[in-house]
Amino acid sequence: MTTAHTLGFPRIGAQRELKFAQEAFWRGDITEATLRETGSELRARHWALQKQAGLDFVSVGDFAWYDQVLNTLALLGALPGRFGFNAKELSLSDYYVAARGNPQHFAMEMTKWFDTNYHYLVPEWTADTSFNGGVDWLFEELAEAQAQGHNSKVTLVGPLTLLYLGKIKSGLTHKLDLLPKIIPAYQRLLARLQEQGLDWVQIDEPILTLDLDAAWLDAFVFSYHALVLQSPKILLASYFETVQDRAALLQSLPVAGVHLDLVRAPQQLDSLLQNWPQGRVLSAGVIDGRNIWRADLSALAVKLQAAQEKLGEQLWLAPSCSLLHVPVDLAAETALDEETRSWLAFATQKLVEVSALKSALNGNATDVAQEFLLADQAVASRRQSVRIHNPIVQKRLAHITAQDAERQSQFAERIRAQQQRFALPQFPTTSIGSFPQTRTIRQARAAYKRGGLTHLDYLEAMRAEIRHVVQQQEKLDIDVLVHGEPERNDMVEYFGEQLWGYGFTLNGWVQSYGSRCVKPPFIYGDVYRPEAMTVTWSEYAQSLTAKPMKGMLTGPVTMLQWSFVRDDQPRETTALQIALALRDEVCDLEKAGIGMIQIDEPAFREGLPLKQRDWASYLDWAVRAFKLSSAGVHDDTQIHTHMCYSEFNDILPWIAAMDADVITIETSRSDMELLDGFGEFAYPNDIGPGVYDIHSPRVPKVSEMQRLLQKARSVIPDARLWVNPDCGLKTRDWPETIAALENMVQAAKLLRATI
């Protein structure tokens, strides 16, 4: 009999119960005991769902009070020593200090979990880091599941992935120097789980899919030989990419099972199957844990036949990765039309899919005939639906030429035309787009959405805000203005709502970090722009000033990256469709007299594939999509782009190839160090390196920004240097915004005076 399981389930709760409990605890509104109760309830509910769906195990250890990496550190007693916590008596308040900081301690750093939008807390490694054991939460959770009568599998972040994802803070030359300490710690942990009656432990080592050097690969051999000595059976889990190139290593490891992501890398099944070790479990990750589409169960059943014949009971079925990355339950989506709904499956539905597939493979197809029928219907409907397939878009895409992605002239010529048109002073000042999103703005937007504000009143409320933003910028004497983006709730959702092919959920929340959740839209069909999206706002804003007003759009790569995307066509195709829609918007803005248009691409870098060998092909189409969106304008229209957070040095040639006339980037927090690469490479177009951090309410001094500008000048020629903040100002308040911008303009003016 085939076994069905999941690598993990979202912990936030269908109504984001965990988020609200966490935040209430942080505010001091509930006690630690009450928060813990919420955690227990959620775990019990999620385990029950897994059991009801027909899974053979419930997943224990996927719950975390903030983040699974932080929970692992708490379990091992390896929280950064700088907090001075007692590892074994760590309270939830302590735990949250590590996650969020307090006046005495800065928080641990946070970064993206592989290529997902989930953020984990970065372990801090020093020579003193110890793994002498920490809290008993995991053992208690296992006991809970056992008491509830569940057959449990515990999931752990593996020791090598944990080491790899951390950062060396001091005293170590290599992260693997900690191996002699961390492996005994995991040994103790595994032995204890075994004593507690656990049969299977799933150890997640997603770094197996990355480009690893020999030292790391050898560490796998050493570590896993040591770990199996006294342990429940180990299912070694890889995901997000192929491990085909690790076949020999995997074969040599003494683990009882290996999980493969067959959604991201289906091709690895056949090749790995050829030399699959006798008796080893192969967990086939066939239900997409990173996307929201209903699976094609019939096709999967066929694809798995050979594996089943070969493996028999050793074939397990699962989602491709933890379901952490998808929303909890489609049942909450009461506003979706029936057709669209029939195409989707969220975490709860995916459990049922895994289980249905198991039944079919076990020869009980009639029991799950209804599930298969619905899946077949969804496949057929997606193949034919006119809401998905738009011949106008397809024809247009088929006919784009290389020329469509090129501006009329080279930058040198364009910038001359632009300088003539705009006659900006040297070191022109600008901002990134958004101005403070006050309560009033958010309330007006929400009221309009609810129907509580008439269209006219809404329009006037937004226009009043735009007037205010323009007036303030004129008073500040900023050179290139923005309208402030008051009408936008979110830079992707705002455009998605106006484009055909985009869908939205009421409650499709996915954990981003801690208590923060995002509700990504989903792209189900060919993307088409039925009418202009931003032109009236930009036109209005421009009518209020004689200075140039930047049009403001979200770029094709970011639109793609921050949405759930179609799985029935390559990402590239979807990106190019979005690019065409944006291209029309760009041209309409130009026609309406908007001379500068900014196309934001903050997610450009995060789209990079996990394996370096795939970078070039991604970057090529990502650049092409951006250029397609931006190249339809005349030479004297100035295209800006903006990126944040990014480390660019390794992809600079592609950033340059986007050929925006001006790029603004976040650099102040790195003390302009990010610019180093730009200098060596001689980035050819204009650059606005951010001169102040917008993440903090602190008002930077004129002298600080002068110093940063001087640093920038050592890399960027004066003629191409712009002056702007790091990013948009939507999270700031007005008083600090005015003060900071005043100082910024002052710094630019002082610099002009010295030339």
Active site residue 640: no
Task: Please list, in sequence order, all residues whose beta carbon lies within 8 angstroms of the beta carbon of residue 53, skipping any fewer than 6 positions away.
Answer: 348, 351, 352, 354, 355
Contact status: 432 vs ligand GLN (CB under 6 A):
yes
Token reading at 504: 């939205």
Contact status: 730 vs ligand GLN (CB under 6 A):
yes
Select from 602, 607, 688, 689 the one that contacts ligand GLN (CB under 6 A).
602
- Among candidates 209, 132, 216, which has minimal Cα distance to 174? 216
Spot the catalytic one: 5, 105, 389, 695: 695
If the CB atoms of residues 349 and 737 are measured against Zn ion, the closer one turns out to be 737
Binding-site size, Zn ion (CB under 5 A): 3
Contact status: 603 vs Zn ion (CB under 5 A):
no
Q: Quick one: which segment of 33-41, 361-369, 644-652, 673-681 binds Zn ion (CB under 5 A)? A: 644-652
Contact status: 599 vs Zn ion (CB under 5 A):
no
Contact status: 73 vs Zn ion (CB under 5 A):
no
139 within 8 A of 231, measured Cβ to Cβ = no
Q: Is 56 annotated as a binding residue?
A: no
The nearest distance, CB 398 to Zn ion, in angstroms, is 34
If the CB atoms of residues 521 and 728 are measured against ligand GLN, the closer one turns out to be 728
Q: Quick one: which segment of 14-22, 42-50, 75-83, 600-608 binds Zn ion (CB under 5 A)? A: 600-608
Contact status: 725 vs ligand GLN (CB under 6 A):
no
Q: Is 112 annotated as a binding residue?
A: yes
What is the greatest pairwise CA distance in the chain?
Answer: 82
The nearest distance, CB 433 to Zn ion, in angstroms, is 8
Contact status: 590 vs ligand GLN (CB under 6 A):
no
Q: Is 88 annotated as a binding residue?
A: no
| 445-461: burial string, b at 16+ Cβ within 10 Å, e else | beebeeeebeeeebbeb
Helix (H, G, I), strand (E, B) or coil at 512: strand
Q: Quick one: which segment of 151-159, 498-506, 701-709, 723-731 binds ligand GLN (CB under 6 A)? A: 723-731
- Among candidates 752, 703, 755, 747, which has minimal Cα distance to 724? 747
- Among candidates 432, 477, 469, which has minimal Cα distance to 726? 432
DSSP per position, 110-129: EEE-TTSS-EEEPPEEETT-
Angstrom CA distances, 500 to 175, 305, 531, 576, 716, stand at 48, 39, 10, 14, 41
Contact status: 319 vs ligand GLN (CB under 6 A):
no
Phi-psi map region of 516: left, alpha, beta (phi>0 left; psi -120 to 50 alpha): beta
E-only strand ranges, 574-620: 596-600
The neighbour count for residue 744, using CB atoms within 10 Å, is 25
Select from 552, 580, 622, 748 the one that contacts ligand GLN (CB under 6 A).
552
If the CB atoms of residues 246 and 642 are measured against ligand GLN, the closer one turns out to be 642
Token reading at 692: 């102040």
Q: Is 517 annotated as a binding residue?
A: yes
CA distance 307 to 313: 10
Helix (H, G, I), strand (E, B) or coil at 479: coil
Q: Is 424 annotated as a binding residue?
A: no
Q: Is 395 annotated as a binding residue?
A: no
The nearest distance, CB 253 to ligand GLN, in angstroms, is 42
If the CB atoms of residues 175 and 550 are measured against ligand GLN, the closer one turns out to be 550
CA distance 602 to 216: 32
Q: Is 456 annotated as a binding residue?
A: no
511 within 8 A of 557, measured Cβ to Cβ = no
The neighbour count for residue 181, using CB atoms within 10 Å, is 16
Give 701's DSSP letter: P
Lookup result for tokens 């599998």: 153
If the CB atoms of residues 46 and 730 are measured against ligand GLN, the closer one turns out to be 730
Contact status: 727 vs Zn ion (CB under 5 A):
yes
Token reading at 171: 């005293």
471 within 8 A of 463, measured Cβ to Cβ = no
Contact status: 644 vs Zn ion (CB under 5 A):
yes
Residues 460-499 that bind ligand GLN (CB under 6 A): 491
Q: Quick one: which segment of 546-554, 599-607, 615-623, 709-717 binds Zn ion (CB under 5 A)? A: 599-607
Contact status: 492 vs Zn ion (CB under 5 A):
no
The nearest distance, CB 663 to Zn ion, in angstroms, is 11
Binding-site size, ligand GLN (CB under 6 A): 12
Q: Is 600 annotated as a binding residue?
A: yes
Choose among Zn ion, ligand GLN, none what residue 74 binds, the Cβ cut-off being 5 to 8 Å by kind.
none
Q: Quick one: which segment of 62-70, 605-613, 685-693, 725-733 binds ligand GLN (CB under 6 A)? A: 725-733
Select from 539, 600, 661, 726 the one that contacts ligand GLN (CB under 6 A).
600
Beta partners for residue 603, in sequence order: none
Q: Is 642 annotated as a binding residue?
A: yes
If the CB atoms of residues 289 and 433 are measured against ligand GLN, the closer one turns out to be 433
Token reading at 662: 């001006």
Task: Please list, in sequence order, all residues whose beta carbon lies within 8 angstroms of the beta carbon of residue 376, skipping any fewer than 6 positions away.
Answer: 297, 298
The nearest distance, CB 729 to ligand GLN, in angstroms, is 7
Q: Is 516 annotated as a binding residue?
A: yes
Q: Binding pattern to ligand GLN, positions 644-673, x when CB under 6 A?
A: x-----------------------------
Choose among Zn ion, ligand GLN, none what residue 433 binds, the Cβ cut-off being 5 to 8 Å by kind.
ligand GLN
CA distance 165 to 183: 16
E-only strand ranges, 519-671: 522-528, 550-554, 596-600, 638-643, 662-665
The nearest distance, CB 714 to Zn ion, in angstroms, is 24
Q: Residue type for 443, please?
A: Q
Q: Residue type for 465, please?
A: E
Helix (H, G, I), strand (E, B) or coil at 457: helix
CA distance 365 to 429: 66
- Between the two ends of the chain, the Cα-to-Cα distance in Å is 79
Q: Is 636 annotated as a binding residue?
A: no
Contact status: 627 vs ligand GLN (CB under 6 A):
no
Q: Is 16 annotated as a binding residue?
A: yes
Q: Is 666 annotated as a binding residue?
A: yes
If the CB atoms of residues 307 and 603 are measured against ligand GLN, the closer one turns out to be 603
Q: Quick one: which segment of 456-464, 492-500, 503-511, 641-649 binds Zn ion (CB under 5 A)? A: 641-649
Residue 376 burial by Cβ neighbours in a 10 Å radius (0-12, 13-18, 19+): middle
Choose among Zn ion, ligand GLN, none what residue 491 binds, the Cβ cut-off being 5 to 8 Å by kind.
ligand GLN
Binding site as annotated, residues for L-homocysteine: 432-434, 485, 600
Active-site annotation, residues:
695
Binding site for ligand GLN (CB under 6 A): 432-434, 491, 552, 600, 602, 642, 644, 727-728, 730
Binding site as annotated, residues: 16-19, 112, 432-434, 485, 516-517, 562, 600, 606, 642, 644, 666, 727
Binding site for Zn ion (CB under 5 A): 602, 644, 727
